[in-house]
Copies of this chain bind each other. A is one copy, B any other.
Amino acid sequence: MGDRAAKDALFAEFAAVGKALGSPKRLELLDLLAQGPRSVEDLANAADLGLSTCSAHLQRLLAAGLVATRRDGTRIWYSLAGDDVAALFANLRSVAQRHRPHTEQARRAYLGPDDTEQIDLAELLRRAEAGDVVVLDVRPAPEYAAGHLPGAVSIPLDELEDRLAELPEDREVIAYCRGAYCALAHDAVRLLSAHGRQARCATDGILEWRVAGLPVQFRAA
């Protein structure tokens, strides 16, 4: 008790989790998995990785205990090991944001000009319940299917321009996506604004929603 070897072993356990968080691509995989379970090939495409490389990263996350697998026939579905893993990831992002000046810069470069007014999730829910606004989920359809905000309508960003007619013209649209560092909702709002719609962007997305422990819905409203 209290000796060096035991202390080193304990901190090595913690570091195993830290090491898993030490690669941009693995963090991107965690970000994707926070939206719902996915297969290896799907993840490889989404994260712009070779199949072997993606598999290797997933193995690493698995060994660290951050993800879990479930076999379905010939396909293997990876998912987060728990909501606490999503919370850890969110925590890591916010530390980066607060203590690394370049992060804000990188965020802006990725999300595009922050010309749009934003709205937080609590306010969004209040408005949605009052019926003032349409809540729009612009993530790919499978992610919507894996869980979305109660009452949200799904129109993936790449179909949005063709499906504008499905959105009522008399109500403001509030778009959300994966999380605070996801570009989809920002792009959607720019597209909607360009078509003369009243649109705003949620500051957060499904990741933050899940971390807050709020309930997701599985079927369309």
Instruction: Identify the A interface with B (CB < 8 A).
Output: 1-4, 6-28, 31, 48, 64-66, 81-82, 84-85, 87-88, 91-96, 98-100, 102-103, 106-107, 109-113, 181, 183-184, 186-187
Contact = CB atoms under 8 A, between A and B. Distances in A.
Nearest to A65: B99
A95 B93 CA distance: 16
A19 B92 CA distance: 11
Contacts of A88: 88, 91-92, 95
A82 B98 contact: yes
A24 B6 contact: no
Contact of A109 (B9, B106, B186): B9
A84 B96 CA distance: 10
Stoichiometry, copies per complex: 2
B112 A1 contact: yes
A110 B87 CA distance: 27
Contact of A15 (B7, B10, B24, B183): B24
Nearest 4 CB-CB pairings of A with B: A1-B112, A18-B21, A65-B99, A11-B24
A48 B18 contact: no
